[in-house]
């Protein structure tokens, strides 16, 4: 809050306890603009809402449906009245938080909401700003649910470039990876969102995605079939990043292609641009039962998303950046999934790339996916 060269406008509501003792002054700084400290402190919240509603709809209150919208006498005076009322409602949000009657927690919530609403793009944030937003999100979750989470804003490590290899001859189609991924990444349970798809393909037909089945339910491995997993390939030249109109998705230094869920406007251009079906969209508000929420989170990874934003595999950024294998790699009982640092000449992933016959999907597109397939 204190730094002067902030990239976005901030509202200083001073919800700290110190302010409480100075009972006379409203905690609102000058930046707030709309704080009408004197008069509104006397109204409690219900009265205020009542007054605002009266002012805005007044006599149309008994009408409903489109009558309210179309059957309205509107002279100059009532138009001004309405305008003033809506302004008042806006100011009300601020005044509630400034008000001495509203609890400390309400104020803090309003402060957090404001800061979160008007924060900048994560990509452009300094480390302190990243820490700030992470702290706010943690506090906000705590206030809403009473539960504590830990959220990281760990940056890409130098000399790390993440890569992935998938052994087609080892995968048996058990889908343990899909299970682990959903649990690790707090994906919406209602719409059964899944980042990973396991395609059951017929032997001898090649990689024919049109004829393969990615939602089989029978004993596996099935006779005469092989299994191939797809997910976000974290392209080094990602087309999804190119098309994003608001730069809400980008390639990090360690090669991870990530999304700022708070900057995404949900236009789904990236979804259309991805040649690998790597991206998912939240058509509804994602919901995870409180007991199943993975509380080890990263801002760019598995933190709770909202309705109308894109998400996708991040190679479990919350795990991989701290040295752990992604959840799918850890869960695979066949060892078909290999993950590691492409820049480390001694790493196992490098051995696979140098000693096995590897290929990638749609290599000719020049997207340079960092996800290789190989066979025994």
Partner 1 sequence: MNKYILLRKWSGLVFCIIIMSSCGHKKDEYHSINDKIEAESKDYQGTSITSDGYIDHVKTIEITEGNHTFLIPERKSQLQSYSCMECHTKPLTEMQKNNKSYKKAHWNISLNHANENTMNCISCHSGKNMDNLHSLTGKQIDFNNSYVVCSQCHTKQFDDWKGGAHGKRIGSWAPPRASLTCVNCHDPHKPHIASKWPARFNTEKVKERK
Told to check if 298 binds partner 1 by CB under 8 A, we report no
Taking CB under 8 A as the rule, does residue 351 contact partner 1?
yes
User: Is 329 near partner 1 (CB under 8 A)?
Assistant: yes
Query: Can you tell me which residue has the tokens 């306890």?
Result: 17
330 binds partner 1 (CB under 8 A): yes
> What DSSP designation does 213 have?
B
Name the residue nearer to partner 1 (CB basis): 114 or 374: 374
Shortest Å, Cβ 220 to partner 1: 6
Q: Site map for partner 1, 227-256, x if CB under 8 A? A: ---------xx-------------------
Residue of 13, 48, 320, 328 that binds partner 1 (CB under 8 A): 320
Query: Does 11 participate in binding partner 1 (rule CB under 8 A)?
Result: no
Q: Which of 46, 203, 219, 364 binds partner 1 (CB under 8 A)?
A: 219
Give the C-alpha separation, 29 to 27, whole Å.
6
Q: What's the rounded Cα separation, in Å, for the pair 373 and 201?
A: 15
Place of tokens 């393969």: 212
Contact with partner 1 (CB under 8 A) among 209, 225, 324, 361: 324
Q: How far apart are CA 86 and CA 234, in angstroms?
A: 46
Q: Find tokens 């969102």 and name the residue.
A: 193
348 touches partner 1 by CB under 8 A? yes
**Could you say whether residue 206 binds partner 1 (CB under 8 A)?**
no
DSSP-assigned states of every residue in 248-292: -EEE-TTS-EEE-TTT-----HHHHH-TT--EEE-SS-----GGG
Q: Closest separation between CB of residue 173 and partner 1, Å?
A: 6
| CA geometry: angle 49, 54, 57, nearest 5 deg | 115
Of the listed pieces 3-11, 86-94, 262-270, 345-353, which binds partner 1 according to CB under 8 A? 345-353
The answer to the question of residue 221 lying near partner 1 (CB under 8 A) is yes
Number of residues assigned to the chain: 376
CB of 162 to partner 1, least distance (A): 8
Q: Which is nearer to partner 1, 95 or 367 (CB)?
A: 367
Q: Which positions from 69 through 108 interact with partner 1, judged by CB under 8 A?
A: none
- How large is the angle between the packed helices 127-145 and 104-117, nearest 10 degrees? 140
Residue nearer to partner 1 on the CB measure, 24 or 219:
219
- Does residue 345 interact with partner 1 by CB under 8 A? yes
Helix, coil or strand: residue 30: helix
Instruction: Please choose, out of 19-27, 36-44, 111-119, 336-344, the segment that lies near partner 1 by the rule CB under 8 A.
Output: 336-344
In 58-195, where does DSSP find H-type helix?
66-70, 76-98, 104-117, 127-145, 176-184
333 contributes a contact to partner 1 by CB under 8 A: yes
Q: Are 180 and 289 in contact (CB under 8 A)?
A: no
Q: Which is nearer to partner 1, 81 or 356 (CB)?
A: 356
Structure-token pair, residue 167: 């052994």
* Spatial contact of 231 and 173, defined as CB atoms under 8 Å apart: no
Interaction between residue 213 and partner 1 (CB under 8 A): no
Contacts (Cβ under 8 Å, ≥6 apart) of 269 = 240, 243, 244, 245
Distance CA 76, CA 61 (A): 20
Binding mask of the shown chain, residues 135 to 174, with x at each position contacting partner 1 by CB under 8 A: ----------------------xxxxx-x-x-x--x-xxx
* Interface positions with partner 1 (CB under 8 A): 157-161, 163, 165, 167, 170, 172-176, 178-179, 182, 190-192, 194, 214-221, 236-237, 320-325, 329-330, 332-335, 338-353, 355-356, 368, 370, 374, 376
């Amino acid at each position: 809050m204190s730094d002067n060269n902030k990239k976005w406008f901030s509202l200083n509501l001073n919800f700290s306890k110190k302010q409480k003792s100075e009972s006379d002054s409203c905690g609102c700084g000058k930046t707030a603009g709309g704080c009408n400290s004197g008069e509104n402190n006397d109204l409690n919240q219900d009265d205020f809402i009542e007054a605002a509603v009266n002012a805005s709809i007044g006599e149309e209150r008994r009408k409903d449906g489109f009558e309210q919208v179309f059957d309205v006498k509107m002279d100059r005076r009532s138009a001004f009245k309405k305008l003033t009322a809506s302004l008042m409602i806006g100011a009300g949000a601020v005044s509630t938080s400034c008000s001495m009657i509203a609890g400390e927690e309400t104020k803090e919530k309003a402060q957090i909401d404001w800061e979160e609403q008007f924060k900048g793009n994560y990509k452009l944030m300094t480390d302190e700003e990243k820490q700030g937003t992470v702290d706010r999100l943690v506090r906000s979750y705590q206030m809403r649910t009473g539960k504590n989470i830990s959220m990281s804003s760990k940056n890409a490590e130098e000399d790390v470039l993440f890569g992935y290899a998938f052994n087609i001859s080892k995968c048996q189609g058990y889908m343990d990876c899909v299970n682990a991924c959903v649990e690790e990444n707090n994906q919406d349970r209602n719409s059964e969102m899944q980042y990973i798809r396991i395609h059951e393909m017929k032997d001898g037909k090649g990689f024919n995605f049109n004829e393969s089945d990615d939602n089989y339910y029978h004993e596996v491995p099935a006779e005469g079939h092989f299994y191939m997993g797809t997910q976000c390939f974290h392209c080094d030249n990602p087309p999804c990043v190119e098309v994003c109109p608001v730069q809400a998705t980008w390639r990090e230094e360690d090669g991870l292609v990530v999304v700022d869920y708070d900057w995404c406007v949900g236009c789904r251009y990236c979804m259309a641009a991805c040649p690998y079906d790597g991206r998912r969209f939240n058509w509804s508000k994602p919901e995870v039962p409180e007991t199943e929420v993975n509380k080890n989170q990263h801002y760019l990874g598995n933190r709770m998303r909202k309705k109308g934003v894109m998400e996708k595999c991040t190679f479990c950024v919350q795990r991989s950046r701290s040295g752990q294998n992604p959840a799918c790699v850890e869960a695979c009982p066949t060892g078909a999934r290999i993950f590691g640092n492409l820049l480390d000449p001694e790493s196992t992933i490098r051995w696979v790339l140098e000693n096995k016959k590897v290929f990638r999907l749609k290599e000719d597109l020049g997207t340079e996916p960092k996800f290789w397939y190989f066979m025994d």
